[in-house]
Each structure stands twice: as structure tokens, then as C-alpha cells.
């Protein structure tokens, strides 16, 4: 048994150990607005429910360990006292991860992550249309605990309205079916847990990297009938596209030459097949190759 004193090791090391041990953690996908109406959307895995009468939810946009800066979500709840806590699931987990990118203040993560804002009923922040569950919340108290990097800021909320999509209810029509909800939770590092199937999966963190966002993807990719929201989010987390030479080199790949030869008389089907190929590459974590497959026709 190894023992660690948080006062004697770097905060970043203790932070990593703590998040690896206290898991899985549910995720609050929080949408907020500032006084000027600018929208922010970001996930937080320091989150849970703490009562049902009144309905109390608490999440913590902690100060960044790296540089002791605060987060836009915290600034917004302090200004307006309102938040929507959306519950993400596996179908939108990569878009949720993309929204954690540290974009500049005023950048709308709904747009960057390719998600749809829906007007709330009792609070100003919009909710995420794609989320299976959303809690409209009034902030009861924000309790800072410490002033150093990694310090918690407990946002204590009262849920004043709950939205649940019809398709996640069980056969009784009253309770939420965990398999239909298909919730995800955070583990340590890049690891997540899914409520069904092959439970553990890994996602690359945006960290300080600022991906281009789904809004900047070429139209034929963004509007693809093949690529899912998760696929688009993985592409939107990219900073650097392949060069023209790299794309030209990909055209020498046997799979590309086979698809062109097979579908050369039907451009739409060729494009669809290339999107299917890119999807497979994305699912294998081969993002640069997926980009090459998607851009071959564009750069012909």
C-alpha cells in the first residue's frame, strides 16, 4: 500500500490519483449565460444529486490546477444565478467532450460542438436538445473552498423543472430505463464508462488544444448522412489538417483506388463509401487517415 499526503506532493499528481480512484463519476453538462446573453456549455464530473425535496444538485467548476484560473461557467452562475444541467449519454459523448475545450469567453460551445440549443421554460440558459434529460436549475449558493489551483467551487442548485425524452422511459412509462438512457461517466485519465455493452472506452482530452469545432468542418462533412455527432466531434477536435501531399499519397492506397474504380460513375455513392471508410477509421482512432479519406474528393 502506497500512501500520499496531499500537502507533500504536487496538486496535479494528487488530482490525477483522486480522479482515478473516485470513479465512475456522473457528468453535469452545464449550460449557462452571462449578463449579456452569451451562452456557455461545458461538462463537469464533480457532480451528483443530494436531495429530492427540494431537488438539490451540486456540481463544481473547480479552479484549474494548471494555472489557478476560473471557468466561464462559474463566472456565469455568479452573474445570473441560473444553470441547466443536461445529462449526456453515449450518443453525444464526443460532442460533450469537445465542449470542454477551453475556447475564449464569448465562444458558443453549442456551435463548436454541433449541438442544438432549446429555450428553457423557467431559466434563461438554453438546454441541449440532444440530451436525454435536462434539469432547469436556480442557483441557491456558490461556495468556494480554497483559492489555489484545484480548489472547489460548489454550485448548489435547486432543480425547478425536469425534462426527460420519451424514448428513455421504461415499459412502465414512469421510470427511466438505464439501457435506453445509455449514460456515460468519467474515470481517471482519458477513460469513460458506458452503462451498457463494452463498458470502458477512451477519449482524447481537448486540454489546452483548441480544435476547429464542428462549425468549421467542410459542408459535405458536417452535413454527412453517414457520420454521427460523435464522429463529427472527433473531427472537430482537430487542429491541423493533412497536407495536399498527404492527401495525394492516400489516393495511392488500395482501398481508395478500389472505391474509385467501383463507384467512378456515381459520385454520390463514392462520397458515401468514403464517409463510411472515414467512420471506420475514426472508430479505430485513426483520425488523420479519416481526414484524408474525407478530403480526397474535395482536393481532386
For the segment 258-289, what is each residue's pLDDT rounded down to a tens digit?
Answer: 898 999 889 999 999 999 999 999 999 899 99
Q: CA end-to-end span of the chain, whole Å?
A: 60
Q: Is residue 5 domain-resident? A: no
Give the mean model confidence (pLDDT) for residues 238-250. 89
Count the residues in the chain.
300
Cα–Cα dist 248/182, whole Å: 40
Please check the confidence at residue 299 and state whether its pLDDT lies above 70. Answer: no
Q: Is residue 263 domain-resident? A: yes
User: Is 280 found in the same domain as 161?
Assistant: no
For the segment 36-91, what is each residue's pLDDT rounded down to a tens digit?
Answer: 999 999 999 999 999 999 999 999 999 888 888 889 999 999 999 999 999 999 99
- Sequence-distant (≥ 6) Cβ neighbours of residue 208 within 8 angstroms: 66, 102
Give the mean model confidence (pLDDT) for residues 234-262. 90
Q: Is residue 46 domain-resident? A: yes
Retrieve residue 148's grid coordinates. 489555489
User: Is 128 found in the same domain as 52?
Assistant: yes
CATH number at 154 reads: 2.30.110.10
User: Is 193 found in the same domain as 112?
Assistant: yes
Over its C-alpha atoms, the chain yields an Rg (Å, rounded) of 21
**Is 116 exposed, middle or buried, given 0-12, 13-18 or 19+ CB atoms closer than 10 A?**
exposed
User: Is 38 found in the same domain as 94?
Assistant: yes
User: Is 174 found in the same domain as 33?
Assistant: yes
Closest Cα to residue 103, out of 214, 246, 230, 226? 214
Q: Is residue 167 domain-resident? A: yes
Helix (H), strand (E), coil (C) string for 127-175: EECCCCEEEEEEEEEEEEECCCCCCEEEEEEEEEEEEECHHHECCCCCC
For the segment 120-165, what is each residue's pLDDT rounded down to a tens digit?
Answer: 999 999 999 999 999 999 999 999 999 998 899 999 999 999 999 9
Residue ranges making up the domain that contains 268: 214-295
pLDDT at position 239:
83
pLDDT at position 198:
67
pLDDT at position 300:
57
Please check the confidence at residue 200 and state whether its pLDDT lies above 70. Answer: no
* End position of a domain, from candidates 132, 167, 202: 202
Cα–Cα dist 72/60, whole Å: 12
* End position of a domain, from candidates 149, 172, 202: 202
Please check the confidence at residue 210 and state whether its pLDDT lies above 90. Answer: no
Largest CA distance in the chain: 68
pLDDT at position 5:
92
**Predicted model pTM:** 0.80
pLDDT at position 107:
93
pLDDT at position 15:
87
pLDDT at position 199:
73
User: Is 100 found in the same domain as 56?
Assistant: yes
The residue among 297 and 283 whose pLDDT is bigger is: 283
User: Is 122 found in the same domain as 219?
Assistant: no
User: Is 188 found in the same domain as 225?
Assistant: no
For the segment 1-37, what is each residue's pLDDT rounded down to a tens digit?
Answer: 999 999 999 999 998 998 889 889 999 999 999 999 9
Number of domains in the chain: 2
User: Is 221 found in the same domain as 135?
Assistant: no
Amino acid at each position: 500500500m502506497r500512501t500520499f499526503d496531499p500537502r507533500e506532493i504536487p496538486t496535479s499528481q494528487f488530482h490525477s490519483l483522486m480522479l482515478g480512484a473516485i470513479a465512475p463519476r456522473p457528468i453535469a453538462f452545464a449550460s449557462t449565460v452571462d449578463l449579456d446573453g452569451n451562452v456557455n456549455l461545458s461538462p463537469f464530473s464533480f457532480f451528483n444529486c443530494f436531495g429530492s425535496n427540494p431537488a438539490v444538485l451540486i456540481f463544481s467548476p473547480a479552479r484549474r490546477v494548471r494555472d489557478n484560473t476560473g471557468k466561464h461557467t462559474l463566472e456565469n452562475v455568479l452573474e445570473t444565478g441560473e444553470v441547466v444541467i443536461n445529462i449526456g449519454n453515449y450518443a453525444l459523448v464526443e460532442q460533450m467532450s469537445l465542449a470542454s475545450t477551453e475556447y475564449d469567453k464569448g465562444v458558443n460551445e453549442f456551435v463548436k460542438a454541433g449541438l442544438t440549443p432549446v429555450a428553457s421554460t423557467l431559466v434563461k440558459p438554453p438546454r441541449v436538445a440532444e440530451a436525454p434529460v435536462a434539469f432547469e436549475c436556480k442557483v441557491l449558493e456558490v461556495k468556494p473552498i480554497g483559492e489555489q489551483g484545484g480548489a472547489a467551487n460548489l454550485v448548489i442548485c435547486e432543480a425547478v423543472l425536469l425534462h426527460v425524452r420519451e424514448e428513455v422511459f421504461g415499459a412502465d412509462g414512469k421510470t427511466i430505463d438505464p439501457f435506453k438512457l445509455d449514460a456515460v461517466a468519467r474515470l481517471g485519465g482519458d477513460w469513460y464508462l458506458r452503462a451498457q455493452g463494452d463498458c470502458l472506452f477512451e477519449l482524447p482530452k481537448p486540454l489546452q488544444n483548441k480544435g476547429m469545432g464542428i462549425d468549421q468542418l467542410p459542408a459535405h462533412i458536417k452535413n454527412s448522412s453517414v457520420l454521427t455527432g460523435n464522429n463529427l466531434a472527433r473531427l472537430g477536435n482537430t487542429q491541423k489538417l493533412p497536407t495536399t501531399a498527404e492527401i495525394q499519397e492516400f489516393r495511392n492506397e488500395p482501398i481508395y483506388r478500389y472505391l474509385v474504380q467501383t463507384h467512378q460513375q456515381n459520385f454520390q455513392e463514392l462520397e458515401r463509401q468514403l464517409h463510411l471508410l472515414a467512420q471506420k477509421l475514426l472508430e479505430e482512432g485513426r483520425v488523420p487517415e479519416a481526414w484524408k479519406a474525407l478530403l480526397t474528393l474535395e482536393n481532386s
